[in-house]
Amino acid sequence: MTLNRYLLFPLLGLALSATAQTNLRIIDPSALVLQPDLGNDRAAQSGMQAAGLDPHLLQKAGQLSDPANWPMGLRTDSARMANKAAIRNYTAYLICEYATDEGALTIVSLPIMANMHMPDELRARDDLYLVLRAGGTEVVEATVMKPAASKGPAWKNLRPARILKPEDVYATYDLSDDPEALAMLDKQGLSKPEIDAVVFRSHERNWPSGIDSFDERYPKLASFKKYKAYRLAKWDDKVLLVIPAEANKKVTAAMRPVLDIYMVYNAGAVKVKEKK
C-alpha cells in the first residue's frame, strides 16, 4: 500500500538514549506498512530527526526498513498471521510517531541483539525498522530489563588461523551435545552467556544468509579461505574458530557476519599460527 503522506510536526519524538527508550509490543501484524519508504518520506524523516537520530542512523533506518531485509516470517500475510503470537515476543522500541493524511504511523526499531531469542523464521540478519498504523503496537510496562544477549567471547588475543580445507566444516555441529567442547570453553573462563552465544552462532542456520545452507554455501566454499579467523578452542580432532564481524567487514555481503560467528572444523583443515 502506498501512503499519501504530508509533512506535519511529529506527534512524538524520543531521544534514543538507554534511559529514554520506550519499549513497545507489536500486537497487530496486519497494521504493518508493507512498503515503507523511510529514506524518502519527508514526514518520517522529520519525525526521526526530532527523535534525535543522527544522519547516519537516518540513512540506516531507511535501508533497514526495506521489506527485502525482513525475515521470512514477516514477508507474507499468511506468514504474519501464522506467527501472530510469536511476533508479540519481539523486543521493540519506539523511534517516533508521525502524522499522515491516513492517520498516525509509528516507527519502531527491532535491534538484532535484543531479539536473539526469536525463532529462526522471525530472526532478522540485522537491526530492523518497521512502520505500523495506529493500533498495531502497545506500550510495555516497565519491567526489570533482561541482560542483552552476549556478543560472544573476546577474540583479539587468540591465535590467528587459516582455513585450508573449507569443505571440512561441521556446519550443523551442536556444541550443546558435546560435553568435552563445553568443558573446554568453560575452562577458558567464558561466561555462561558467552558460551550460549558460541553454541547458538556455531550452527549454519545462524550464519550469514549466503552460507546458511549447503546449497547456498557450496559455491562459495573457496572464499572461506579469505575469512580472518581465530582459534577459540581445540579438543579431540576438532577446532572451534571465531569469524569476527569486526575483522571481516570487507568480505562479500552474502558471507559477511553481522555478529561474530563460529565454525567447528576438522583440525587438519585449519592451520593455526604458532606462538611467537
Q: What is the mean pLDDT of each run of 10 residues along the chain (276 residues)?
A: 36 37 91 87 83 80 86 91 92 88 88 84 88 92 60 90 96 93 91 91 89 92 96 94 93 88 96 80
Q: Report the DSSP beta bridge partners of residue 104.
A: 99
- In this prediction, residue 185 carries a pLDDT of 93
* Sequence-distant (≥ 6) Cβ neighbours of residue 128 within 8 angstroms: 64, 65, 69, 70, 109, 110, 112
3-state secondary structure of 185: helix
Cell numbers 519525525 label which residue? 47
Q: Give the CA radius of gyration of the chain.
A: 21
Helix (H) or strand (E) holding 261: strand 261-266
Q: Considering the entire predicted model, what is its pTM?
A: 0.58
Is the CB of residue 139 less than 8 Å from the CB of residue 26? no
- In this prediction, residue 138 carries a pLDDT of 92
